[in-house]
Amino acid sequence: MQLELAGWDQSWSESLRALAPPDMWAGRVASANRGQYSLFTDFGDVPAEVSGALLFRADEGGLPVVGDWVAFRQHQPGDLAIIHTVLPRRTKFSRRAAGRAATEQVIAANMDVVFVVVGLDRDYNPRRIERYVSAISRSDAQSVIVLNKVDLCADLQVRLAELRTVVPDTRVICTSAVHCEGTVALHDLLQPARTAALVGSSGVGKSTIVNALLGDSVQWTQKTRESDSRGRHTTTERELFVLPRGGLVLDNPGMRELQLWDSDSPLEGTFEDIEQHANSCAFRDCRHHVEPNCAVREAIASGEIDPERWNSYLKLQKELRHRALEEDIHARLAEKERWKKLCKGAKKAQKRR
């Protein structure tokens, strides 16, 4: 395929020239599974793996993910390509990886828009939507809420009214993917060379939406459980598809949890109403507990702020503070280790004298 169809432009060309020698080619990661990659290239789809040097020097979250542009070598047509460099990402959607270790998991890279797919059945959860939009705001990509399965929802207008208070500045598109309703609005956001990533829980219809956009049954789908409207992980790996009308769409496995990663970004984009009230408090360092003339508590008491939304805000703030503390501890340990190495080097130098 032509790389321009996958989003290649002059800026990527300049990055390639600056970071890779002339004998390397450019490709975009179309799929990744256990260290094995497939690349979109000028020569078609090419299987690839990462070089040992890149494995050694890559920072946390720095190995290729679906959507990345990479520089690779391939000695002969048909040979396995070796990825040597990941070009700097324009956007990335990350979360804190599952488990105790504080590590970053990059879900997708270089996407222009992220579709948060929500099933209008028992999957619908405003607090989860807030969390997704907060995470996407850290990615520098546009967020769009896709309310799928409108054919199963008897109170759609109530849901839409609720979302206008939960994510007031985020576009909402209603779809019924199995009946191909509403997908035209999604196509309009996917102009040639633009990339969209789909995120959401299992069973919300992400793969069905991908099939509707492609006009073909490429992704396997299955019914959700009656008990909780959840599905098993039909999609088991991330994969990037080129759409017939142009544009690209990245399908993701369902996520059971989404913990925020970037502690440097505030929550104003998602909770602007709460932040505005907080700025009106009598005290700049108001903690909104027992302080007098607290505008936030007054707004909660008057019904301007939903108590559940306020609790969600507190939970995310606590998560970000914990993440910042982890970063601080990690930085102090790294600095301590650096000084140990410097001291050892100085002692060895003294002994040689």
Per-residue pLDDT tens digits for 63-112: 999 999 999 999 888 889 999 999 999 999 887 776 666 677 888 999 99
Parallel, antiparallel or unpaired: strands 239-242 and 248-251: antiparallel
Per-residue pLDDT tens digits for 322-332: 666 665 655 56
Domains contained in the chain, CATH given: 3-86 (2.40.50.140), 92-251 (3.40.50.300), 263-353 (1.10.40.50)
Residue by residue, pLDDT tens for the chain (353 residues) are 589 999 999 999 999 999 999 999 999 999 998 889 999 999 899 999 999 999 999 888 899 999 999 999 998 888 899 999 999 999 998 877 766 666 778 889 999 999 999 988 877 888 888 888 888 887 888 999 999 988 888 888 998 998 888 888 899 999 987 787 888 899 889 988 999 999 988 888 888 899 988 886 555 444 544 444 444 545 568 899 999 888 999 998 867 666 665 545 555 567 777 888 888 888 888 878 778 889 888 888 888 888 888 887 777 777 767 666 665 655 566 556 666 666 666 666 566 55
Full-model pTM: 0.74
Q: Is 2 left (phi over 0), alpha (psi -120 to 50) or beta?
A: beta
Which residues lie closer than 8 Å to 140 by C-beta, 6 or more apart? 90, 91
Per-residue pLDDT tens digits for 8-34: 999 999 999 999 999 999 999 999 988
Query: Residue 345 has which token pair?
Result: 């080097």
